[in-house]
Amino acid sequence: MTHAVNPSVSPGVRCMMMRGGTSRGLYFLATDLPPDPAERDQLLLRVMGSGDPLQIDGVGGGHPLTSKVAVVSRSACQDADVDYLFLQLGVEQATITDQQNCGNILAGIGPFAVERGLIAAGAESTTARIRMVNSDSIVTAVFDTPDGVPQYAGPTAIAGVPGTAAPISLRFADTAGSVTGSLLPTGNVRDVIDGIEVTCVDNGMPVVVARATDLGISGHETVDELGSNASLIARVRSLRLAAGKFMGLGDVSGLSVPKTTLVSPPRDGGAICTRTFIPERLHTSIGVLGAVTVATALRLPGGTGAELGRFRTDSAAVDVEHPTGHLAVEVELDLSAQPPRVLSAGVIRTARKLFDGTVFPASAPSAAGASGTERGWHT
């Protein structure tokens, strides 16, 4: 029997939803999406439901941490197995950008690549060499694959995620200058921008680091307390916009970078306490590459807020406190080089497959009915 096709119904797209670290996102094979970037981005915005604060007509969770996409393919590079393009989608606004990496969503790339047959699994564990397309840098992921199957259950707990899961080791290479082209995009370890002393660093994520007290808070407040502080949010916005220009990023009003992290003395045995804005909304924890970059900034002699930290002299490990716990990262620097050189960085994360199937995007709006916001996506 032949069935009529309803042209108003959008065809489904093969998709896997995963929790990667403390984020949640949609993972796609590049071959399952339109090859044209503009067409692809319009499709993803309709899948996610962006342009509505609840994302009620899509699968987004109404928060930047749950409005993320990974596009994965086999790599043509000899030093990588798969390519990973990260896309951050807006929530209230129908925007999409590739101007940053995401180290949390990165945690799910290796298992996803095995699930989709892009790489062969080892009998006990698998090592995947992943090229982060956004910054053209390589990360090595090691994860459990007993009997050749990705293992999601395990004993590792990470702050911000209930329960435990299997550990995924991530080791980064060549992350300095991921977006700006330089570890110190302003050329200085310390600057005064918009009246605030800051350190601007890009070691996988462009971040503006400032002392919490310089913006009138202790830095130990809860996410809800800071999220309702309208004057603080306005101050962070002003600082971020000014810093973006100093960092060579131009007008960042429509971008998700740079992030802003306010630091204060640790309260729970860690090295430093942080409160991070993404870009102006409080992060419930801290991003992986954001934490790596903050640790890098504080390891630099003269880094803003470095005097507040309690850093080990016998280890590259930095225990970063955030609103829901701790994130331990490793950063090793060659401080004898000018400018300082990043030798290595690493972190342990977890990931879990949530569903695998077909996602159905909302129908594309007609040309007459499309609003400026709906067409306001950018890459």
Same-domain check for residues 18 and 140: yes
Here the CATH number for the domain that contains residue 226 is 3.10.310.10
Q: What is the pLDDT of residue 366?
A: 53
Same-domain check for residues 159 and 252: no
What average pLDDT does the segment 87-104 reach?
Answer: 93
Cβ-based burial of 369 (10 A; exposed 0-12, middle 13-18, buried ≥19): exposed
Do the domain assignments include residue 365?
A: no
Q: What is the pLDDT of residue 360?
A: 97
Weakest-pLDDT range from 110-114, 259-263, 310-314: 310-314
Q: Is the pLDDT of residue 293 over 60?
A: yes
Do the domain assignments include residue 1?
A: no
Q: What is the pLDDT of residue 99?
A: 86
Task: Indicate the average pLDDT of the chain.
Answer: 92
Only one residue has tokens 């060549």, namely 174
Residue type, 114: V
Same-domain check for residues 338 and 220: yes
Same-domain check for residues 203 and 163: no
Rounded to the nearest 10 degrees, how much is the dihedral formed by the CA atoms of 213, 101, 59, 55? 40
Backbone phi, then psi, for 58, in 5-degree steps?
A: -145, -170
Q: What is the pLDDT of residue 316?
A: 81
Same-domain check for residues 63 and 202: no
Same-domain check for residues 163 and 216: no
Do the domain assignments include residue 6?
A: no
Do the domain assignments include residue 260?
A: yes
- Please report which confidence band the pLDDT of residue 3 belongs to, taking 50, 70 and 90 as the band edges: very low
Do the domain assignments include residue 7?
A: no
Same-domain check for residues 259 and 111: no
38: containing domain:
13-167+352-359
- Please report which confidence band the pLDDT of residue 9 belongs to, taking 50, 70 and 90 as the band edges: low
Only one residue has tokens 């980064």, namely 172
What average pLDDT does the segment 45-69 reach?
Answer: 96
Residues 179 and 196 sit within 8 Å (Cβ to Cβ): no
Q: Is the pLDDT of residue 2 over 50?
A: no
Same-domain check for residues 213 and 323: yes
The sign of the CA dihedral 75, 77, 83, 87 is: negative
What average pLDDT does the segment 72-81 reach?
Answer: 96
Return d(Cα 19, Cα 107) in angstroms, integer.
Answer: 9
Same-domain check for residues 109 and 208: no
Do the domain assignments include residue 379?
A: no
Query: Count of domains in the chain?
Result: 2
Same-domain check for residues 163 and 20: yes
Do the domain assignments include residue 120?
A: yes
Same-domain check for residues 155 and 18: yes
111-121 pLDDT per residue, tens = 999 999 999 99
313-355 pLDDT per residue, tens = 777 889 999 999 999 999 999 999 988 999 989 999 999 999 9
Same-domain check for residues 37 and 102: yes
Q: What is the pLDDT of residue 175?
A: 87
Q: What is the pLDDT of residue 114?
A: 98
Do the domain assignments include residue 85?
A: yes
